[in-house]
Structure 1
Amino acid sequence: MHRKHAILLLIFFQYFSLLAQKQPPSQRLGAFRYTQEDRKILSGQPTTALVLKSPHFQGQSVKIEVNGTAMAIPLDPDAPAYTYFLSLPEPIEVTNVDADPDWSVFLINSGNAPATSSGKLRADQEECDFSVDPILQEEWRNGLDAPSYSRSFTDVEHVIIHHAAGSNTNTNYTQVVRDIYIYHTEVNGWSDIGYNYLVAQNGALYAGRDPAGGEQDNVLGAHFCGSNSQTMGICLLGNYETALPTDATWATLQQLAAFKLQKENLDALGSSAHPLGQVGNIGGHRDGCSTLCPGGNVYDQLSALRSEVDGLLSSCEVALDFELSELTLEAGESLTVSNTSHGYDHYTWLFEGGNPSTADWPNGGEVQYNYGGIFDITLIGHQGASADTLSFQDAIRVLAEPRIFPNPAKSMTTLNVATDGSIMALEIIGIQGKTHFATNEVEGGITLPYLTSGVYVVRIHTDGRWVSQMLLIQ
């Protein structure tokens, strides 16, 4: 090849390489720096979010013109100062941005949000099951590059609440989360999205920072004033300086906080030391540094949140207890027992003198008592390999005439007496009227003397009267 041809090929190669770099990035996802010089290159770029970085504080929001239309961009309280961020309700093609020349402007294109699972609380969830089922990263991040870095983890002592300070009307929640992810990684330069979890206005829960096989709630984030150890960050989508949290948002926040505090055995009403000072086990972003986050309408309700979570956790502590529908029955009647315990895997019931005598009811059931007496009821709660026992002594009094058993009986064996009262004395008399046995020690049964086979009369003195029953000795 001639040297002249080689030079021409090199020039063409360099030209087309430069041209490829200058193609409008409309098919590319990510964050793009906007300048007046590059605005023609960026023309036609789908934009799902805007970011402005100012060298000075500009208030809680800044106004700029985008395509000739005024737009307010709110301050992001979780970003390096002074950063303003807004996820747009609908993508737009930005042709011109009129902003202070000292500001850095970024256009974010996070692409079309994919369909995701609901991420909402399950209707069939058990009362004390606070586990959460968030929309996972592989769902909401579909089509975006996954982060690649060495994760760090922390022992959490503080659940820190944030708000995104963005739009209260944008209902494309997955798009908002994708925009935040690109914003945090490509504009702020963080390794990943800053929060452990994000909660949408419809109550949907998103898994935030990717733990790469570790625990979602313990992966170290980037959200608490540069001091993220011991914390788990929850971001509520929306601006709670201007709006109130929805009931759905609050319900998800309650459950998520209860889940973490129960797991770590933390007091919802308590606080502990943190590198930034004494911080509540449930706290707000402003507890660590100067910011309005998580917004006054959330921060003012954190005390209520603590009390609500404390109530949920207190009602779900491991406890063994039961209730009885009656304390006194007639022989042949049934008693209803209700299990008010919680925190155990399964239960065993013991009913002295009852039918059934044992049961494994989780919630309770009915027991029939066919003869008189005063009986104990015992409940055993099993948790793994351990067990706790609660026994109500003399719980039930069953009214009936005294009854002897077994009957027939054998000589020299134990004879028991079932009664609802106190036995003062007992006599065994033959049919000719001879007294073969007499005692005033009946509790726990009596040992029969040697008696020849035949019929005897057992006289029982109880409650100030004598009651007679026939006894057959075999």
Structure 2
Amino acid sequence: MPGLLAVLALVMGTVKVDRPAARPPAPRPSAVARITVPRPVARPPVVPRSKWLDTSSAREQPPPRYDDRVVAVFIHHTDSPNGYDCADTPRIIRDVYAGQTGAKDWDDIGYNFLVDRCGTIYEGRAGGADRPVTGAHTQGFNHRTAGIAAIGTFTAGSAVPKAMTDAIARLVAWKLGLAGVDPRGTVRLVSSNSLSRYSAGTAAVLATVSGHDAAFMTSCPGAALSDRIPEIRDLAARYQGR
């Protein structure tokens, strides 16, 4: 028996030494986004990019890149005027596209989707609204995520239209439902870029529905819209039947 106890002590000591001390603590199981079976939600109407993009001035771009699934969503605002007529939304998106592919020299608009004040959802980045397109919306966390931009500026005190937040919630419910992800949960994502809030290679536990500022040093999506994110999470979960 003494010999057996000594062997067991040695094994336990070895396991303890080999455990990686630098690994971030695992979140509570109840808080982690559970990627299980798809949770089908009716796809909301999405206006295709062909309805806003002027093909004669569109930038030549490489083929779209894809991830295996979308497990989180980042909410943004476009930091543009709020008092627009929704009939002008295609022009506004073209302006966003021109700014990102012009001065910023991106190959396409960064957001996967854009939502206007009337609750109309527009396809943003090329590759297919139904597919897990890799965007360019959240530095360090573009993989396995979708970027949804609310068209307008939503700093503190700004009105956030209910039609807009309802449409965002429906879009979130649908995109995360494809991977069976609970909009109220959290997910572990690994930063790919040290310009984010987390150095490259760092695993961060983030809400499955987060504001841009959760992962990047920015005031986006604005305090007013940030205050509505908990409501968006809860409504998206209800749309999923949770």
Alignment TM-score > 0.5, same fold: yes
Q: Confirm or deny: 8 A CA contact 2:166 2:232 kept in the other structure.
A: no
Q: CA deviation at 1:177?
A: 0.1
SS at match of 1:159: strand
Where does residue 219 of structure 2 map in the other structure? 292
Partners of 1:261 and 1:235 in 2: how far apart? Answer: 16
Q: Which residue of 2 aligns with 1:144?
A: 57
**Structure ranking higher on relative contact order (CA contacts 8 Å, 6+ apart):** 2
User: Would you say the 8 A contact 2:70–2:176 is kept in 1?
Assistant: no
> Structure 1 residue 244 and structure 2 residue 159: aligned?
yes
Closer, same or farther: CA 306–132 of 1 in aligned 2, 3 Å: same
| CA distance in structure 1 between the partners assigned to 2:129 and 2:81 by the alignment | 30
**CA distance, structure 2, for counterparts of residue 149 and residue 288 of structure 1:** 26
After TM superposition, list the pairs within 5 Å mapping 1:418-429 onto structure 2: none
Residues of 1 paired with 2:187 and 2:140: CA distance?
18
Change (3 A) 1:216 1:148: farther
Partner of 2:101: 185
Q: Pairwise mapping of residues 24-423 of structure 1 onto structure 2 (< 5 A)?
A: 129-142=41-54, 143-145=56-58, 147-154=60-67, 155-171=69-85, 172-211=88-127, 214-241=128-155, 242-276=157-191, 277-314=204-241
Segments of 4+ in structure 1 off by > 6 A?
A: none
> SS where residue 141 of structure 1 aligns?
coil
Structure 1, residues 197-225: CA drift from partner, whole Å, max 9, x if none? Answer: 000111111100011xx455511111102
Q: Which amino acid in structure 1 is aligned with residue 66 of structure 2? A: F
Partner SS state of residue 198, structure 1: strand
C-alpha change, 1:216 and 1:179, in structure 2 (3 Å) is: farther
Decide whether the 8 Å contact of 1:132 with 1:256 is kept in 2.
Answer: yes
Higher-Rg structure is 1
Q: Does the Cα contact within 8 Å between 1:137 and 1:210 map onto a contact in 2? A: yes
RMSD over equivalenced CA pairs, Å: 1.7
Percent identical pairs in the alignment equals 26
The alpha carbon displacement at 1:230 in A equals: 1.5
Q: What is the alpha-carbon distance in structure 1 between the residues aligned to residue 106 and residue 212 of structure 2? A: 18
Residues 177 and 289 (structure 1), Cα distance of their counterparts in 2 relative to 1, 3 Å cut: same
- The 1:246/1:305 distance shift into structure 2, 3 A limit, reads same
Query: Is the CA contact 2:41–2:239 (under 8 Å) kept in the aligned structure 1?
Result: no
Give me the whole-angstrom Cα distance separating, in 1, the residues matched to 2:131 and 2:84.
27
Normalised by the size of structure 2, how large is the TM-score? Answer: 0.72
Deviation at 1:231, TM superposition (A): 0.9
Partners of 2:49 and 2:152 lie apart in 1 by 20
Q: Aligned in 2, Cα 1:147/1:216: closer, same or farther, shift over 3 Å?
A: farther
- SS of the residue corresponding to residue 176 of structure 1 reads helix
More helix by share: 2
Instruction: Work out whether residues 130 and 256 of structure 1, in 8 Å CA contact, stay in contact via their aligned partners in 2.
Output: no
Distance apart, 1:300 and its partner CA = 1.5
Structure 1: unaligned runs, 5 residues or longer: 1-127, 316-474
Partner Cα separation in structure 2 for residue 145 and residue 304 of structure 1: 36
Whether the aligned pair in 2 keeps the contact of 1:220 and 1:231 (CA below 8 Å) is yes
Contact 1:209 1:216 in 2 (8 A): no
Greater strand percent: which structure?
A: 1
| Contact 2:66 2:131 (8 Å CA) reproduced | no
Per-residue displacement from partner, 1:344-398 (whole Å, max 9, x unpaired)?
A: xxxxxxxxxxxxxxxxxxxxxxxxxxxxxxxxxxxxxxxxxxxxxxxxxxxxxxx
In structure 2, the CA distance between the partners of 1:175 and 1:304, relative to structure 1 (3 Å rule), is same
Q: Secondary structure at the match of 2:46?
A: coil
Structure-2 residue corresponding to 1:392: none
CA distance in 1, matches of 2:59, 2:171: 25
Structure 1 CA distance, aligned partners of 2:154 and 2:42?
Answer: 25
Give the AA of the match of 1:161: I
Instruction: Spell out the pairing of 1:417-456 with structure 2 (5 A cutoff).
Output: none
Equivalent residues, number: 186
2:92 alignment partner, SS class? helix
